[in-house]
Amino acid sequence: MLLTDLISEVQRKTGRNIILFQQLEGLLKYVLTFREVDGHISELQDIIEFKKASIGKQTMGQLVGQFTENKNQNESIRSADDHKEPHISFKFWIDNEDFYLNKKESLSKLVQERNKLVHHLLLDLDLKSIDSCELISKRLDIQCEHIRSEIKATQSFIKALTNCRKTMSEFISSDVYKKELIIQLLRLNSLVLLLAKIAKETARKDGWTLLNSATSLLKKHEPEEWDLLRKSTEYKSLKSLMLKTELFEFSEEKTSKGGIRVLYKLKTDSALAYA
């Protein structure tokens, strides 16, 4: 091959690899934008746009550093400080330390190669030498295979991430989620929280609490919420509200005068949750 042809081939392969590096950077930016999302529903779009803008300014080295962090698997999902609206926390990572160690080694090597390609290629390339051009051409081919391998691996990562996001989205749209959301919101009602506290602190030796006694405490400590409940068209009684939460179980017993009184207590799993 003529020297002029070799030079053209090196230039072509250099451009090819730079484009591949940019493709890999774009994939890493996508992962870092959507791998972890945390916030109230009304804030999510702004949060994502802010992350896109921030990540878009980062170098490939910074992207690789964030992508290969494996701290997420040891962190719990943050709970919202308030309950004014639904709060979503989504995190995706591979629970395998070796995976991140291998990725860190492989991608860090690519970062070095990318910087060398962009900034220092001419230091190693003698455009007057056939041997030099052939050597660089072979190196560029080896580098190309490495980049493509990481692109393919990152695309697989994104596919798994996308599938998880799709599954979460489908679940949020389902009737099961809507029912669970209603239950969780009801469990945060101040009356329900107080009922759980009363059941824990004032229960009889047999574990049961008189609902009438609890009702008196609700009227005293949560008068506004009690009035709202009385005016509610959705719940005909305090017991109907309690049943909706699926937190409590009920019993009845006869009084000394032949009447019936209602007793309640937290279900076993609920008692653990409110401990």
31 against 75, higher pLDDT: 31
Q: Which residue has the higher pLDDT, 177 or 147?
A: 147
Tokens 């709970």 found at: 79
What pLDDT was estimated at residue 115? 93
Percent of the chain surpassing pLDDT 90: 60
Residue 74 has pLDDT above 70, yes or no: no
pLDDT of residue 172: 82
In whole angstroms, give the CA distance from residue 51 to residue 69.
Answer: 17
Q: Of all helices (H) and strands (E), which one includes residue 187? A: helix 175-187
Q: How confident is the model at residue 90 (pLDDT cuts 50, 70, 90)?
A: confident
What's the pLDDT at 274? 60
The per-residue pLDDT for 127 is 86
Q: Is the model's pLDDT at 95 over the cut of 60?
A: yes
pLDDT in tens, 112-132: 999 999 998 878 888 889 999
Do 261 and 212 form a contact (C-beta atoms < 8 A)?
Answer: yes
Asked if residue 80 has pLDDT above 90, the reply is no
- The stretch 257-262 carries a mean pLDDT of 91
pLDDT for residue 171? 85
- For the residues 154-170, what does the mean pLDDT come to? 91
Q: 224 pLDDT exceeds 70?
A: yes
pLDDT at site 275? 58
Domain residue limits, the chain: 3-173, 181-273
Rounded-to-integer distance, Cα 88 and Cα 77, Å = 9
Average pLDDT of the chain? 88
Residue 273 has pLDDT above 70, yes or no: no
Across residues 224-241, what is the average pLDDT? 86
The secondary structure of residue 259, as a DSSP letter, is -
**Average pLDDT over every residue of 150-173:** 91
pLDDT band for position 211 (cuts 50, 70, 90): very high
- Please state, in angstroms and rounded to a whole number, the distance separating the CA atoms of residues 245 and 145: 57
Pairing type for strands 209-210 and 87-91 reads: unpaired
Residue 39's region, left for phi above 0, alpha for psi from -120 to 50, else beta, is left
Residue 128: DSSP 8-state: T
Provide the CATH number for the domain formed by 181-273 in this structure: 3.30.420
Residue-wise pLDDT tens digits, 176-206? 888 888 888 888 889 999 999 999 999 999 9
Percent of the chain with pLDDT over 70: 92
The yes-or-no verdict on residue 271 having pLDDT over 70 is no
Residue 272's pLDDT is what?
Answer: 52
Strands (E), 157-259: 209-210, 248-254
Please say if the pLDDT value at position 83 is more than 90: no
Question: In the predicted model, is pLDDT for residue 33 greater than 90?
Answer: yes
Residue 70 has pLDDT above 80, yes or no: no
